[in-house]
Amino acid sequence: MSIYQQILSLSHPRVVVLIDPGKADYQVNEEIVGFCNTSSVPFLLIGGSLVQDYLDSYLLNLRKITTKPFVLFPGNLMQLSRHADAMLLLSLVSGRNPEYLIGQHVAASLYIRNTAIEVIPTGYMLVDGGGLTAVQYLTQTLPIPSDKIDLAVATAVAAELLGLKLIYLEAGSGAKQPVPPAMVAEIRKCVNLPIVVGGGIKHPHEIEDYAKSGAQIIVLGNSVENNPARLRQILSDLRW
């Protein structure tokens, strides 16, 4: 079964961990992966905002300690690897920078086709998390204001009409405030695509709120990257 089909067939929302090879050292990430191995985490997201030229070797080493699938979350066309199981092909639909709507995709298309990894076309939507994030700075785009739920809904619907297969709502790494659950709930009413939400999520009650709002995947990053034992506690508290 493809990764996308696995997401569609989830009977309950799931937590996924974003591992940034350029941030935490390998030992910390190894600890995080160890917790994921014994949990309901369906796959590992791999990626970040900055270029890493050692992604192939990183994934090969990580493969030695886990059987969880690797899904690339590429910040740019340099963050690709044939050693992943799938990738989110991100179209930054919340912004108006053509480089991140189609430019990077054209440059990387033949390489991606030749890797034969599963591609999941994704409508990537930045939502204001209370401060300037790395992805906003690097893509030179403005996020959707957190109180403009109607704009977020219209953007998600446009992504669905364009044929994208997934909606990813992103408040940004270490966001001061995560994506409002009310925004997730309104988007869920209007689109029939899986919804992923990430950025600034720290507590089990926030994860529960997103689950109730209709998100299929809730992404944890900085909050567990800085404290791997926190992941074990969160997964234990959720009892998923």
Instruction: Look at residue 48 in the predicted model and tell me its pLDDT.
Output: 83
Confidence (pTM): 0.96
pLDDT (tens digit per residue) in 19-37: 998 887 778 888 999 999 9
> Which of 21-25, 70-74, 104-108, 153-157 is predicted with the least confidence, judged by mean pLDDT?
21-25
- Percentage of residues in the chain having pLDDT higher than 70: 98
The pLDDT-based confidence of 71 (bands split at 50, 70, 90) is very high
Task: Kindly report the backbone phi and psi dihedral angles of residue 52, in degrees, each rounded to the nearest multiple of 5, phi listed first.
Answer: -125, 125
Instruction: Look at residue 49 in the predicted model and tell me its pLDDT.
Output: 73
Decide if pLDDT at 240 tops 70. Answer: no
Q: Are strands 195-198 and 166-170 parallel, antiparallel or unpaired?
A: parallel
Decide if pLDDT at 51 tops 80. Answer: no
Pick from 70, 61, 110, 62: nearest CA to 88: 70
HEC-encoded secondary structure of the chain: CCHHHHHHCCCCCEEEEEECCCCCCHHHHHHHHHHHHCCCCCCEEECCCCCCCCHHHHHHHHHCCCCCCEEECCCCCCCCCCCCCEEEEEEECCCCCHHHHHHHHHHHHHHHHHHCCEEEEEEEEEECCCCCCHHHHHHCCCCECCCCHHHHHHHHHHHHHCCCCEEEEECCCCCCCCCCHHHHHHHHHHCCCCEEEECCCCCHHHHHHHHHHCCCEEEECHHHHCCHHHHHHHHHHHCC
**Could you tell me how many residues make up the chain?**
240
CATH class of 3-238: alpha beta
Decide if pLDDT at 233 tops 80. Answer: yes
**CA-to-CA separations, 12 to 41, 67, 68, 106, 224, in angstroms, rounded:** 11, 21, 18, 35, 22
